[in-house]
């Protein structure tokens, strides 16, 4: 551990009765055999259950398909990485020398794993209700800010629906540039909004990713003009 655990306890608003659990949760497999992968497995299940229940009660009239998409957004890698960064978990983690030198404390996947392991550790250190209350407190802002339309349809689908209703025309996507080697290309895509005479661009590591980025930029511009 590179920092005092008391600081972490303040950040997560929980104090461990058994410090060995939090130490294991923050230990990468490159450091020792007593690493965090089993706790990550447990924490993943606890997190999924808590978020599923919260969505079930928050949206009593939505079907399981919508709830699944919302849960996917809340437990996706980026969300977990953001949570881990909020708690500065990377600064508390223990790595082997090689992993430490390669910047393991900043690697998104390892931060995701540590966040789930943290949940598993809290569950074992206390009980399900306590772990649930921690998760709901951490996720309070994200749960309150959820937008069903935004998180259950991809940007391309939402842009197409808007244009079909507004001008009865679909958007047109065009790859205008590709750079980089075959194994590491960057695509630049432009989306044209027909008779609205507006175009928006975005880049991505695949054509699909760039198209989604362009659609998202177009939607943001449209919403800002409303």
3-state secondary structure of 121: helix
Q: What is the largest CA-CA distance in the chain?
A: 64
44 belongs to the catalytic site: yes
Half-sphere exposure of 179 (CA within 13 A, CB side): 7
Catalytic residue (choose from 40, 99, 113, 116): 116
CB proximity list for 62: less than 8 A, separation 6 or greater: 148
Number of other CB atoms surrounding residue 32 within 10 Å? 11
The answer to whether 43 and 120 have CB atoms below 8 angstroms apart is yes
Instruction: Pick the catalytic residue from 44, 99, 113, 125.
Output: 44
Q: Which residues of 49-88 are buried (b: 16+ CB within 10 A; e: fewer)?
A: ebbbebbeeeeeebeeeebebbbebbbeeebbbebbeebe
Q: Which residues contact 67 (CB under 8 A, 6 or more apart)?
A: 52, 55, 56, 59
| 184 catalytic per annotation | no
The pair of structure tokens assigned to 17 is 């009765």
Instruction: Give the catalytic positions in this structure.
Output: 44, 116
């Amino acid at each position: 551990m590179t920092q005092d655990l008391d600081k972490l306890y303040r950040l997560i608003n929980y104090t461990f009765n058994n410090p060995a659990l939090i130490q294991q949760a923050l230990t990468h497999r490159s450091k020792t055999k007593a690493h965090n992968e089993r706790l990550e497995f447990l924490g993943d299940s606890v997190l999924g259950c808590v978020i599923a229940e919260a969505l079930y009660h928050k949206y009593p009239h939505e079907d399981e398909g919508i709830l699944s998409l919302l849960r996917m957004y809340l437990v996706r890698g980026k969300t977990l990485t953001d949570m881990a960064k909020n708690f500065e978990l990377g600064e508390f983690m223990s790595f082997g020398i090689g992993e430490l030198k390669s910047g393991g404390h900043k690697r998104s996947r390892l931060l995701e794993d540590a966040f789930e392991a943290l949940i598993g550790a809290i569950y074992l250190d206390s009980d399900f209700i306590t772990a649930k209350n921690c998760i709901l407190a951490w996720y309070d802002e994200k749960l309150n800010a959820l937008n069903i339309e935004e998180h259950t349809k991809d940007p391309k689908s939402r842009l197409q629906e808007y244009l079909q209703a507004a001008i009865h025309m679909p958007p047109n996507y065009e790859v205008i540039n590709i750079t980089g080697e075959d194994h590491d290309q960057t695509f630049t895509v432009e989306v044209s909004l027909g008779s609205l005479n507006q175009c928006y661009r975005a880049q991505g590591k695949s054509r699909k990713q760039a198209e989604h980025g362009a659609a998202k930029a177009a939607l943001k511009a449209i919403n800002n003009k409303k």
